[in-house]
């Protein structure tokens, strides 16, 4: 990873709070945590949280950030997700050192805390059905009412909970609830669930439990056990903060972390919820969690995004409590900046058409030199073979070209990058009128792409020697959705807005010979964009490149 250009992370309201807490002596060191539920793959929205939490641990003295798997629902979670999540966090460039935890590590303690609540008459076992509980809860404008089981004795409650734990009951038969206030205006405080029966085994604890704790109970207690100082989460948990604090106030926990909420990331032209991503993957709307069109970290990694670019993006968008939809161009700008700085250049023709230099010797070859990086001479030069028959981009020739078209048309002279000036004399067309060959003459005095007479050529185009070309498949990606906010339509399902044209496969691409070498890093194909070999489909002899992102194109804009 190239980290040389990393700039200091801009401050935000959360860092301001931390600064104040350190200043006042409330804390002398900071501990944050990134607490994913292992029920899916991480996406760029998680990256925002990861960068926030781990970023703080890097920037403050003695600070740490825990990676904690919030594995309280064995019905949805799988250990394979745990591995994928770890890989993604590491790939992003962060290290949890020995601070790897699971909420399931605390199941014994959680249970003891639940018993403590019962003993304080702050929790009870309810035996209402799920449907009745919903009815008793009231709604947004009407208060709820007490369950008939709310008055059970401490002894009965403990015995019942014990039975639930041992698996003596069916799922849904009983539920441990906090005893708070059924008429609370905040619905989360209307006797929320603490433990529910799930007669299923758990990836980490196997068959030892028949009850599993709910998020609201498990999360705050886990934070407290780990000594988290600042528990950062997204806005939708704001209403849960009173409950977070209630548990920690009632219980004798070793600490009382502060929950602070920030707004989640939304990117335009994509979706960011795990539920929707699951749906896209399972409904075969895309090809797996690592589909290069997805905003998942594994998809972006496959596409060719760099950790550097994603971290830079996260620091640019900031952290606030305001709802937002970030434009894709911000991400692309971070990407281009990193890739432009760090990618070697290459010549590659994606949509080839023959260019024949009529006055070039029939069986002559020569080796020309191309710079690997125009801004970094220290990266050296490479050899590029040149000969009479080349491939150029079909779009670099135009029959009735306007004055401002700087490329080839009859009578116009252009520079072949690193090679020679050529002038188009005529073209050959097939029966259907399609251009098949562009014929040119070259000026042998312009070797290397410059002339002594100071003659100006406005256009420079890329090319590949036909007989030296390496064949490859190139996949070009476009946005996955046709509208900026596919998830925000009230009438229509977001899937109705899927872009049917989000992937273009070009199978007949011609790459310069140096690209034969297998490589994991990205290249800039000059004048086109950034590309990298596909990490699953590319093989020696059958290269497959993904277009990560195009170059900016002010000419395309003008047209």
- The catalytic residues are 37, 264, 274
Minimum distance of RNA from residue 222's CB (angstroms): 10
> What gap in Å lies between CA 280 and CA 498, rounded to an integer?
10
**Long-range Cβ contact pairs of 237-244 (< 8 A, separation 24 or more):** 237/261, 239/186, 239/187, 239/188, 240/188, 240/216, 242/186, 242/188, 242/189, 243/178, 243/188, 243/189, 243/192, 243/216, 244/216, 244/219, 244/220
Question: Which one of residues 52, 319, 469, 509 is an interface residue with RNA (CB under 7 A)?
Answer: 319
Identify which of residues 380 and 448 has a Cβ nearer to RNA in the complex.
448
Question: Which one of residues 203, 227, 340, 385 is an interface residue with RNA (CB under 7 A)?
Answer: 340
Identify which of residues 13 and 80 has a Cβ nearer to RNA in the complex.
13
Q: Which helix (H) or strand (E) holds 51?
A: helix 44-59
Identify which of residues 148 and 459 has a Cβ nearer to RNA in the complex.
459
Minimum distance of RNA from residue 210's CB (angstroms): 12
Question: Which one of residues 53, 64, 104, 188 is an interface residue with RNA (CB under 7 A)?
Answer: 188
Residue 547: beta bridge partners? 531
User: In the window 197-226, what residues touch RNA (CB under 7 A)?
Assistant: 197-198, 212, 214-216, 218-219
Identify which of residues 136 and 477 has a Cβ nearer to RNA in the complex.
136
Side-by-side strand order, sheet with 100-102: 31-34, 64-69, 100-102
Minimum distance of RNA from residue 539's CB (angstroms): 27
> What gap in Å lies between CA 9 and CA 31, rounded to an integer?
18
Question: Which one of residues 24, 206, 378, 404 is an interface residue with RNA (CB under 7 A)?
Answer: 404
Query: Which one-letter DSSP state was computed for residue 397?
Result: B
> What gap in Å lies between CA 42 and CA 89, rounded to an integer?
9
User: In the window 457-476, what residues touch RNA (CB under 7 A)?
Assistant: 459-460
Residue 36 contacts by C-beta under 8 Å, 6 or more apart in sequence?
42, 46, 69, 70, 85
**Quick check: 9 binds RNA (CB under 7 A)?**
no
Tell me which stretch binds RNA (CB under 7 A): 83-91, 237-245, 466-474, 536-544: 237-245
Minimum distance of RNA from residue 536's CB (angstroms): 27
User: Which residue bears the tokens 């905040």?
Assistant: 186
Do residues 122 and 179 make contact, with C-beta atoms less than 8 angstroms apart? yes
Tell me which stretch binds RNA (CB under 7 A): 112-120, 193-201, 359-367, 465-473: 193-201
**Quick check: 452 binds RNA (CB under 7 A)?**
no
User: In the window 355-384, what residues touch RNA (CB under 7 A)?
Assistant: 373-375
Helix ranges (H only) for 167-228 are 215-226
Minimum distance of RNA from residue 518's CB (angstroms): 23
Minimum distance of RNA from residue 103's CB (angstroms): 8
Identify which of residues 129 and 358 has a Cβ nearer to RNA in the complex.
129
> What is the maximum span of the chain, computed from C-alpha positions, in angstroms?
101
Identify which of residues 21 and 37 has a Cβ nearer to RNA in the complex.
37
Identify which of residues 167 and 185 has a Cβ nearer to RNA in the complex.
185
- In sequence order, what DSSP letters do the residues of 340-354 get, joined into one string? HHHPPEE-EESSEEE
Minimum distance of RNA from residue 354's CB (angstroms): 20
Tell me which stretch binds RNA (CB under 7 A): 386-394, 445-453, 467-475, 541-549: 445-453
User: In the window 65-124, what residues touch RNA (CB under 7 A)?
Assistant: 70, 72-73, 75-76
Q: In degrees rounded to 5, what are phi and psi of residue 143?
A: -70, 160
Strands 365-371 and 345-346, sheet pairing: unpaired
**Quick check: 444 binds RNA (CB under 7 A)?**
no
Count of residues near RNA by CB under 7 A: 91
- In sequence order, what DSSP letters do the residues of 109-140 get, joined into one string? HHHHHHHHHHHTT-EEEE---HHHHHHHT--S
User: In the window 524-543, what residues touch RNA (CB under 7 A)?
Assistant: 524, 526-527
Minimum distance of RNA from residue 269's CB (angstroms): 12
- What does the CA dihedral 498, 501, 507, 513 come to, rounded to 10 degrees? -90
Could you tell me the two tokens for 507? 């199978």
**Quick check: 186 binds RNA (CB under 7 A)?**
yes
**Quick check: 175 binds RNA (CB under 7 A)?**
yes
Nearest partner of 348 among 496, 131, 546, judged by Cα = 546
Question: Which one of residues 82, 84, 89, 133 is an interface residue with RNA (CB under 7 A)?
Answer: 133
Identify which of residues 227 and 340 has a Cβ nearer to RNA in the complex.
340
User: In the window 25-54, what residues touch RNA (CB under 7 A)?
Assistant: 35, 37
Minimum distance of RNA from residue 498's CB (angstroms): 21
User: In the window 414-433, what residues touch RNA (CB under 7 A)?
Assistant: 415, 417-418
**Quick check: 59 binds RNA (CB under 7 A)?**
no
3-class DSSP assignment, residue 534: coil
Tell me which stretch binds RNA (CB under 7 A): 328-336, 386-394, 430-438, 472-480: 328-336
Tell me which stretch binds RNA (CB under 7 A): 150-158, 182-190, 202-210, 434-442: 182-190
3-class DSSP assignment, residue 145: coil
**Quick check: 236 binds RNA (CB under 7 A)?**
yes
Minimum distance of RNA from residue 541's CB (angstroms): 27
Question: Which one of residues 16, 28, 358, 508 is an interface residue with RNA (CB under 7 A)?
Answer: 16
Strands 543-550 and 470-477, sheet pairing: parallel
Tell me which stretch binds RNA (CB under 7 A): 41-49, 286-294, 507-515, 550-558: 550-558
Question: Which one of residues 263, 441, 476, 499 is an interface residue with RNA (CB under 7 A)?
Answer: 263
Do residues 424 and 411 make contact, with C-beta atoms less than 8 angstroms apart? yes
Q: Which helix (H) or strand (E) holds 290?
A: none
Identify which of residues 399 and 542 has a Cβ nearer to RNA in the complex.
399
Side-by-side strand order, sheet with 503-511: 345-346, 523-525, 529-533, 543-550, 470-477, 503-511, 348-349
């Amino acid at each position: 990873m190239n980290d040389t250009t990393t700039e200091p992370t801009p401050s935000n309201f959360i860092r301001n709070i931390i600064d104040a807490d350190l200043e006042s002596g409330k804390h002398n060191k900071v501990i944050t945590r990134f607490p994913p539920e292992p029920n899916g793959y991480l996406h760029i929205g998680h990256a925002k949280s990861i960068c926030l939490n781990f970023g703080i641990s890097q920037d403050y003295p003695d600070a740490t950030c825990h990676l904690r798997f919030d594995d309280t629902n064995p019905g949805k979670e799988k250990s394979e997700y745990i591995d994928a999540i770890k890989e993604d966090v590491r790939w992003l460039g962060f290290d949890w050192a020995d601070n790897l935890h699971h909420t399931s590590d605390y199941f014994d303690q959680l249970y003891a805390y639940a018993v403590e609540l019962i003993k304080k008459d702050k929790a009870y076992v309810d035996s209402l059905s799920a449907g009745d509980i919903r009815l008793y809860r009231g709604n947004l404008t009407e208060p709820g009412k007490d369950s008939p089981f709310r008055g059970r004795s401490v002894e009965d409650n403990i015995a019942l909970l014990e039975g639930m734990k041992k698996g003596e009951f069916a799922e849904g038969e009983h539920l441990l609830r906090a005893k708070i206030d059924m008429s609370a205006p905040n619905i989360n405080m209307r006797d929320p669930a603490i433990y529910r029966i799930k007669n299923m085994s758990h990836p980490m604890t196997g068959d030892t439990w028949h009850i599993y704790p709910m998020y609201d109970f498990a999360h705050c207690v886990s934070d407290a056990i780990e000594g988290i100082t600042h528990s950062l989460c997204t806005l939708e948990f704001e209403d849960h903060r009173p409950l977070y604090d209630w548990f920690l106030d009632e219980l004798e926990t070793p600490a009382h972390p502060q929950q602070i909420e920030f707004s989640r990331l939304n990117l335009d032209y994509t979706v960011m919820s795990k539920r929707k991503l699951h749906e896209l993957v399972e409904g075969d709307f895309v090809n797996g969690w690592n589909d290069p069109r997805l905003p998942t970290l594994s998809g972006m990694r496959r596409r060719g995004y760099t950790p550097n670019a994603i971290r830079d993006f996260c620091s640019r968008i900031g952290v606030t409590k305001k709802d937002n939809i970030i434009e894709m161009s911000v991400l692309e700008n971070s990407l281009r900046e990193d890739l432009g700085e760090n990618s070697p250049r290459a010549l590659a023709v994606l949509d080839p058409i023959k260019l024949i230099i009529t006055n070039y010797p029939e069986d002559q070859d020569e080796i020309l030199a191309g710079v690997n990086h125009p801004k970094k001479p220290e990266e050296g030069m490479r050899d590029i073979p040149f000969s009479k028959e080349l491939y150029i981009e079909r779009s670099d020739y135009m029959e009735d070209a306007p004055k401002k078209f700087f490329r080839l048309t009859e009578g116009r002279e252009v520079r072949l990058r690193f090679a020679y000036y050529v002038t188009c004399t005529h073209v050959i067309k097939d029966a259907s009128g399609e251009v098949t060959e562009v014929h040119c003459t070259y000026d042998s005095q312009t070797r290397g792409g410059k002339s002594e007479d100071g003659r100006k050529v406005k256009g420079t185009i890329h090319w590949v020697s036909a007989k030296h070309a390496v064949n490859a498949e190139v996949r070009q990606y476009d946005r996955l959705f046709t509208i900026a906010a596919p998830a925000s339509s009230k009438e229509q399902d977001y899937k109705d807005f899927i872009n049917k044209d989000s992937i273009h496969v070009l199978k007949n691409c011609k790459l310069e010979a140096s690209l034969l070498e297998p490589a994991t890093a990205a290249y800039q194909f000059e004048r086109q964009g950034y590309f990298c070999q596909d990490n699953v489909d590319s093989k020696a002899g059958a290269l497959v490149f993904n277009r990560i992102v195009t170059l900016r194109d002010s000419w395309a804009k003008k047209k």
